[in-house]
Amino acid sequence: MSKIWAGRSAGELDPLADSFNSSINTDKRLYAQDITGSIAHARMLAKCGIISRAEGELIAASLRKILADLESGALAIDISAEDIHSFVESELTARIGDAGKKLHTARSRNDQVALDLRLWMRNEAHGIRALLLDILRALVEKAESAADCVMPGYTHLQRAQPVTFAHCLLAYAQMFKRDLTRIDDALARMDECPLGACALAGTGFPIDRTYTASLLGFSSPTANSLDSVADRDFCIELVSAFSLIMLHLSRFCEELVLWSSGEFAFVRIGDGFTTGSSIMPQKKNPDIAELIRGKTGRVYGDLTALLTLLKGLPLAYNKDMQEDKDASFDAVDTVKACLGVFVPMLREVEPVKENMLAASRKGFINATDLADYLAKKGVPFRTAYKISGQIVAYCVQNGETLESLPLDEYKKFSPFFEDDLYADIDLLNCVKKRTSYGGPAPSSVEIQIRDLKEFIARK
């Protein structure tokens, strides 16, 4: 296939250089976006009188037929083409002759690829956004059934204070909610169409960039032709948002790995999302959670690749930017795969309530409530804190818990202790009274669930 840039160079491109220069094996994924952008461009050229209306209609109809043939398999992409843009243009010209050669009027591959990638990333971002909504729905459903499931909350991976399984699930819901809004923010900023910027300096043809932008679903054209072809911020911003999604998935998966272990035994992961061992018949390994945790590094690498790729480039387009697609595609593919398998796995995670409650009864996680009890009696909190710490140390030395320690022993530490202290440090009561906004009390969890449902409904 002859090069669309042939003319300036008299010699043939070295075969090794030709192969090295080619991007068709990567950017062939953009065929639908390339054709969609070309149809819009043809319609704009015809509207502005740059080509005839008949030529515009012929080009658009032929491009739609090429797209249909690619979708059906009747037409295969020629991998000897330099890139997807040259393949589509060559196929169009082969079908309709000189009219096809007019399509590239007032356009460059620079603004063409900037558009194609923007369209592709926009579409994929909406798909990832939908998967995040699926996760939020699954978390809300799980939380609604686990509001009374008391478990230890941790700091430093040490038992700290009592919470509920629902409260933990809703903590992750807040993370994924932020992820969704980050994607929305990025989509809002990339809602501009670069087509018409041409190579870097626009064109002398009387084009209508606003019309092209509206045809392609953008609110406006990009404001500067140099920036239009040099910008890949939208890739970096979305892949950054995807990296945070992976961060949150990875943290959640680490919890599932821990909670499903014999040492915790807080949850059971469905058999459909675990594997066995080739030598140890008793094993039930959380491989899916571990793989998601491991794949997080891939998306981080994609983000680093994009940042490094662009950090030293002068204006405007440089061939280095051909490498933007591999990183962007890999990040999208990885995030979609991880979200796609995580949601059904989450739906099959079941809490083992009795084990969570048993763990909550160890570790003195109601010690803060004991200090709060004294503070409510008028003891300065720091004094109450010290007394509670002394009582915990005494219980450890004597094999007692805060619930089992007799009242007369409590009174040795402070005369303010009365019979009502046992109700105050009961684990279920400890959770129920934490009604501060965002807390783990059932009443607070209900508010969080209500707010999330309203958020999901708005989206």
pLDDT of residue 414: 96
Candidates 100, 82, 99, 83; CA nearest to 91 is: 100
Residues 136-154: pLDDT tens digits? 999 999 999 998 899 999 9
pLDDT of residue 3: 60
Instruction: Say if residue 9's pLDDT is above 60.
Output: no
Instruction: Say if residue 276's pLDDT is above 80.
Output: no
pLDDT of residue 279: 77
Per-residue pLDDT averaged across 267-280, rounded?
A: 87
d(CA 79, CA 20): 13
Given pLDDT bands bounded at 50, 70 and 90, which one contains residue 236?
Answer: very high
Length of the chain: 459
Instruction: Say if residue 1's pLDDT is above 70.
Output: no
* Average pLDDT over all residues of the chain: 95
Residues 36-82: pLDDT tens digits? 999 999 999 999 999 999 999 999 999 999 999 999 999 999 999 99
Residue owning tokens 């030598």: 279
pLDDT of residue 4: 60
Are the CB atoms for 33 and 120 separated by under 8 Å? yes
Looking at 277, 360, 388, 414, which residue is catalytic? Answer: 277
Domains and CATH numbers, the chain: 20-105 (1.10.275.10), 110-148+163-205+224-357 (1.20.200.10), 359-458 (1.10.40.30)
Instruction: Say if residue 281's pLDDT is above 70.
Output: no
277 annotated active-site = yes
d(CA 357, CA 266): 9
Residues 212-233: pLDDT tens digits? 999 999 999 999 999 999 999 9
And the tokens for 161? 């204070």
- Spell out the SS3 assignment of 311-349: CCCCCCCCHHHHHHHHHHHHHHHHHHHHHHHHHHHHHCC
Q: Report the percentage of the chain scoring pLDDT > 90.
A: 92
CA atoms within 13 A on the CB side of 257: 15
Q: Report the percentage of the chain scoring pLDDT > 70.
A: 97
Are the CB atoms for 46 and 57 separated by under 8 Å? yes
For strand 158-164 and strand 150-155, is the pairing parallel, antiparallel, or unpaired? antiparallel
Are the CB atoms for 336 and 131 separated by under 8 Å? yes
pLDDT of residue 399: 94
Instruction: Say if residue 278's pLDDT is above 90.
Output: no
And the tokens for 340? 């796609």
pLDDT of residue 355: 97
Per-residue pLDDT averaged across 298-316, rounded?
A: 97
Looking at 9, 72, 156, 278, which residue is catalytic? Answer: 156
Residues 358-382: pLDDT tens digits? 999 988 999 999 999 999 999 999 9
Instruction: Say if residue 5's pLDDT is above 50.
Output: no
d(CA 234, CA 216): 17
Instruction: Say if residue 98's pLDDT is above 80.
Output: yes
And the tokens for 201? 């300096």
pLDDT of residue 270: 95
Instruction: Say if residue 384's pLDDT is above 60.
Output: yes
Per-residue pLDDT averaged across 431-443, rounded?
A: 95
Per-residue pLDDT averaged across 383-400, rounded?
A: 96
Given pLDDT bands bounded at 50, 70 and 90, which one contains residue 6?
Answer: low
pLDDT of residue 280: 77
Say whether 10 sits in a helix, a strand or coil: coil
